[in-house]
Structure 1
Amino acid sequence: MLLRFPVPLHLLLLRRHQHLLPNSVPSKRFNFSHPPQSLFKTVPVLRVGYPTSTFSEDESDVELGRLLSLLPEEMRRRVSEHPELHMLIEVVMDLGRKPLARFPSGDFVISEYPITVQDIQHATAQVGDFAVDNRAGISRTLHRISAIRNRKGTIIGLTCRVGRAISGTANLLQDLVQDGSSLLLIGPPGVGKTTIIREIARMLANDYKKRVMIVDTSNEIGGDGDIPHAGIGSARRMQVPNSDMQHKVLIEAVENHMPQVIVIDEIGTKLEAMAASTIAQRGIQLVATAHGITIENLIMNPSLEMLVGGIQ
């Protein structure tokens, strides 16, 4: 089974040594108005695909079963019979509408009957508490359950996204991360950025014996619950109470736990970008993601442009 990203995933490789880049990687060059010491000029753009081997097929089957257990029996059976079951992206349940299972090939109706209040209550009773960002998880899995609420705060819709640890996704970047260079992965939601940085964290911690600390705002990298998912290997994980505190936890991780590598998902605000820049300038390897389609999107974002040093 070969899974490919639906759109190109752009990697902004913040490199200290240009000669270490693969010859096949094309670059764009920009004029930096004030490049800080930790951020550099070359911006390679790569198309990345998933490898055929998964973290563990047996474990993945068990974890997928735990997500499907949120569904009523008939819906669960319909999903399980789909030929693309192991490529399931998410299940969408909206009150009064037919539930959908989303696959790379498109949406699949899993019941001819609209979702009821009882269906939603059945699902929410089996997951952890929803945080202020309306996200919850299933303990020691990578799945994410996101809620839609009405004006009174009642949950009327659920998006149940499948999370998978896939080994080998970071093999292409192995030579680029083992020497301590920082990485920023750029792409739209759902293309696999989190999957890759999870594998990078595991690779650096297990294979290269680095002290890796994951700052995990929504528990998407290390999974839900207090015991991290095995997919991060021996990397450590700090949970973030809410997204507004992410930049503070970044600095706390550096000051309190002496990491050699910091891994963080979804840098989105100026405070987070400033914290990330500060960490990189201290000589700590930073592996992070940000939303965007192209490097130009990052450049035009006033909150994030400092990640590439300021461009004229």
Structure 2
Amino acid sequence: MQITDDLNRLLNIVPEEIRRNVELHPQRNSLIEIVLDLGRCPEARFPLGAEYISQTAVSWEDLDHCISQIGEFSGDNRAGIERTLHRISAIRNRTGKVIGLTCRVGRAVFGKVGMIRDLVETGQSILMLGRPGVGKTTALREIARVLADELSKRVVIIDTSNEIAGDGDIPHPAIGRARRMQVARPELQHQVMIEAVENHMPEVIVIDEIGTELEAIAARTIAERGVQLIGTAHGNRIENLMKNPTLADLIGGIQAVTLGDEEARRRGSQKTVLERKAPPTFEIAIEMLERDRWVVHESVASTIDSLLRGMQPTLQVRTMDEAGEVSMVEERYNSPSAAPPTRTLSPQVMKSVEVSAPGLTGLRGSGKMIPIPPEKSTPENKYFEQLLDASFTTGLRGIVGGNAEHPAVGPNGEDLPLHIYPYGIARHQLDQVIRSLRLPVALTKDIDSADVVLALRSHIRNQSKLRHMAKTRQVPIHTVKSGSAPQVARALRRLLNMEDPNAPEVPDLALFARSGSEDEIEALEEARLAVEQIVIPKGQPVELLPRSPQVRKMQHELVEHYRLKSNSFGEEPNRRLRIYPA
């Protein structure tokens, strides 16, 4: 890695005593900046700390000496030295007179782009985040040179403070063949961005310090025209942009969405949730935590969606050693606002909880339901009612739970509970099945601690990354066709060796019930007996008793489980289900 700094050009503008002391300093080559404040001792800042480099306080003459040798200060109080990358920033008093200078060393670092060269060559837009001084502008300059010289692309740099290509009309050689457009005033940066696209046909636009809403909108406009964007923004982590309403559009924007009852139930969340508003302007984001340690988000959209749902995405951390070798490791996103892990009860605790059917709810519980006049009874209906009465003589406990002993070990000899990493299956659906069947299963968000991956077949098909991770960690993948409760229950039983795959499947009515009330279980048992005792063996249709719309929906789902058809007919409150043979 080659570093060019032209440090002597910067030292030539400071007073003689300061220049001499810096040249003799052992950390001269790692100097970050020199601070000159009126009436205070001059200070030099290095990576390991700051120290005074003279015991003589800075005077008006010292400040005037420095200002006379540099260009004019722009609207953002920045100036430079022609054809160098150094930056001199001014602090003014209330009358506008300069009372302090920050002389920052600008360095051209060649070879830094090797950490993300594969991402640069993809042609996708890249956003670089990091605190001030971590090296965002230096990396931006090197990326512009590589794109222009080595990849032969038309690159235009929007250089608002002349910090990327240096001061003066002739750009610094560090940007290679890339072209530079200067900005008259910082507040006009968004206009120059659009002008560059309209007038100069660039393939790549390089922007430093996107900081206003107008600039964020201009960046989206450029990206939608098919131009690759390479930009920087202040903020340590991508989560900082999510909380910044001015810059949130760079990552797609955040909006509050009200879900329907069914969708909220499927997600297991509240009805009002936060979601990404639009596709991100930048497809890739890089968090520059340190100069040689960067966190890469190869899919900003996936990262934002995961964070909004309270999940912790897996990150790619890239580091570069002194020899220029790049290493990549995967880490979990450490976010203070991430949702806490779900607490899963152990099988012993689950067994100690007594399962009991609650009392009647809804219209039946309120006593407001209008009684139904008795209908003519047929021999088949009498036979069915006898079966229904007989099934409830044993009580509801056998239907809701059961006390079957679970195996002491899993299918591969692992200790229970079985740790499952779900993918594409609603977590609340899994929790409901585990609680209803009291299975020795624990859900985990970490694939490293999982015994098996339980995934939706349609989702896992295109997830080569997850398949590769599971193969590397030797974690088997078990797929289900759909995320319905019966399918999930059957898969969990098979994983625990609790059923014979060739045996006919007997549905667990608690999986179809919403609240597990006696009213729901009774209606589901009625439908089950009708199917198993009359519709299937005798091939005759059966009409069930009138039920509420919610309960009829559960009965429909149970009938579909048997691969039969059913319709609702009649008028409320006497509307009921009719089940047809196959």
Task: Give the TM-score of the pair, scaled to structure 2.
Answer: 0.43
Match of 1:143 in 2: 86
Distance 1:137 1:218 in 2: 9
Q: 1:219 aligns with which of 142, 155, 162?
A: 162
8 A contact 2:216–2:249 mirrored in 1:
yes
* Alignment partner of 1:280 is 2:229: no
Structure 2: tracts of 5 or more residues without a match: 255-273, 275-582
What's the CA shift for 1:193? Answer: 0.3
What's the CA shift for 1:179? Answer: 2.3
Match of 1:134 in 2: 77
What's the CA shift for 1:76? Answer: 0.7
Partner letter of residue 181 of structure 1? Q
Partner letter of residue 245 of structure 2? P
Runs of 4+ in structure 1 over 6 Å off: none
Q: How does 1:194-273 map to 2 (within 5 A)?
A: 194-273=137-216
Deviation digits for residues 242-284 of structure 1, max 9, x if unmatched?
A: 1110000000000000000000000001110011011111110
What's the CA shift for 1:310? Answer: 2.1
Distance 2:121 2:189 in 1: 26
What's the CA shift for 1:178? Answer: 1.2
Superposed CA RMSD in Å reads 0.9
Q: 1:108 aligns with which of 51, 74, 80?
A: 51
* Alignment partner of 1:184 is 2:127: yes
8 A contact 2:75–2:186 mirrored in 1:
no
What SS is found at the alignment partner of 2:202?
A: coil
Task: Give the TM-score of the pair, scaled to structure 1.
Answer: 0.80
Match of 1:307 in 2: 250
Distance 1:148 1:308 in 2: 33
Moved more, 169-178 or 157-166: 169-178
Distance 2:246 2:99 in 1: 33
What SS is found at the alignment partner of 1:146?
A: strand
Match of 1:76 in 2: 19
8 A contact 2:203–2:227 mirrored in 1:
yes
Partner letter of residue 106 of structure 1? G
Match of 1:25 in 2: none
Percent sequence identity over matched residues? 62
Distance 2:29 2:113 in 1: 20
Distance 1:142 1:258 in 2: 26
Distance 1:83 1:161 in 2: 18
Q: How does 1:35-114 map to 2 (within 5 A)?
A: 52-54=1-3, 56=4, 60=5, 63-114=6-57
Structure 1: tracts of 5 or more residues without a match: 1-51
Partner letter of residue 129 of structure 1? E
Distance 1:132 1:293 in 2: 26
Deviation digits for residues 162-191 of structure 1, max 9, x if unmatched?
A: 001100111111111112111000111111
Distance 2:219 2:226 in 1: 11
Equivalent residues, number: 255
What SS is found at the alignment partner of 1:166?
A: strand
What's the CA shift for 1:132? Answer: 1.6
- Where relative contact order (Cα < 8 A, 6+ residues apart) is larger, the structure is 1
Partner letter of residue 2 of structure 2? S
Distance 2:100 2:67 in 1: 10
What's the CA shift for 1:128? Answer: 0.1
Partner letter of residue 229 of structure 1? H
Partner letter of residue 188 of structure 1? R
Distance 2:242 2:40 in 1: 40
